[in-house]
Amino acid sequence: MADGLATGALLALYCRRPGVGRSDILRTSLLCVASAVFLMAAGYPFGIFLSRTLLGGSLRGTMLNLLFAGTLGITLLIGTSRWKWLVRRPTLQFFGEISYGLYLTHVLVFEVFDHFATLYFPSLSDSAVPGHFVRILLRFALAGVASVALACLSRYTFEAAFLSLKDRWAAGTPRPALTSHTVGSKVA
């Protein structure tokens, strides 16, 4: 998990470097996506998608981190171009606002759901119906809604207090390369 955070942090640092333009960010993002696709194609016969294989256990996370970093970079470029309407949707903005709380709490909520489902509804447990699609959908719906509710509660109560303080320290922040005012090539 830490390497995913590190990949996102490296992408953010790269985008904020002086002299890095939109074409540099696009090239880096496409390189990340291409590397992930290469790992998928080359690693598929060796079990890169399975965590129980050596290759999957060691490179699956790297492959996904590269894919997501590249997708994030491309999405940021789209969001600051004439195509911004593609990514500036109310649903995406909502999940963007609660994403930190959702990231922090979703695993706990799913674990609590699994615990109580096993305790009070043993017929729905993994041992009774392994991989049953309806159980997976039910788990995702119930625990997912609970995760979103908890993330909303966190965002609009606890996090809001800290976010209100951010303007006090943001005055000296350098302008990132992903603004519409950035000089450089445009992304169509």
pLDDT at 45 (0 to 100): 86
Query: 101 and 48 share a domain?
Result: no
d(CA 84, CA 134): 36
The verdict on 109 and 135 lying in the same domain is yes
Cα 144 off chain centre by: 15
Contact in structure between 147 and 109 (CB atoms under 8 Å): yes
Residue where one domain finishes, among candidates 36, 54, 85: 85
**59 and 102, same structural domain?**
no
Residues 80 and 30 grouped into a single domain? yes
Does some domain include residue 8? yes
SS3 of 79, please? helix
Tokens of 164: 């209100």
* Residue 23 shares a structural domain with residue 78: yes
Q: Is residue 163 part of a domain?
A: yes
For the chain, how many structural domains are there in total? 2
Long-range Cβ contacts of 100-103 (<8 Å, 24+ apart): 100/151, 100/155, 100/159, 101/150, 101/151, 101/152, 101/153, 101/154, 101/155, 101/159, 102/147, 102/148, 102/151
* Token pair for 9: 């942090």
127 with 63, same domain: the answer is no
CA-CA distance, 68 to 97, in Å (whole number)?
A: 19
Residue 81 and residue 138 share a domain: no
Domain that holds residue 8: 1-85
**Same domain (yes/no): 78, 93:** no
Q: Within a domain: residue 100?
A: yes
In a domain, 187, yes or no: no
Question: What is the per-residue pLDDT for 188?
Answer: 44
Residue 75 lies in a domain: yes
What pLDDT score was predicted for residue 178?
63
User: Could you tell me if 94 and 49 lie in one domain?
Assistant: no
Residue 103 inside a domain? The answer is yes
Q: Are residues 62 and 24 in the same domain?
A: yes
Q: Nearest-CA neighbor of 24 among 76, 63, 86, 88? A: 76
Segments of the chain with pLDDT less than 70: 1, 124-131, 170-188
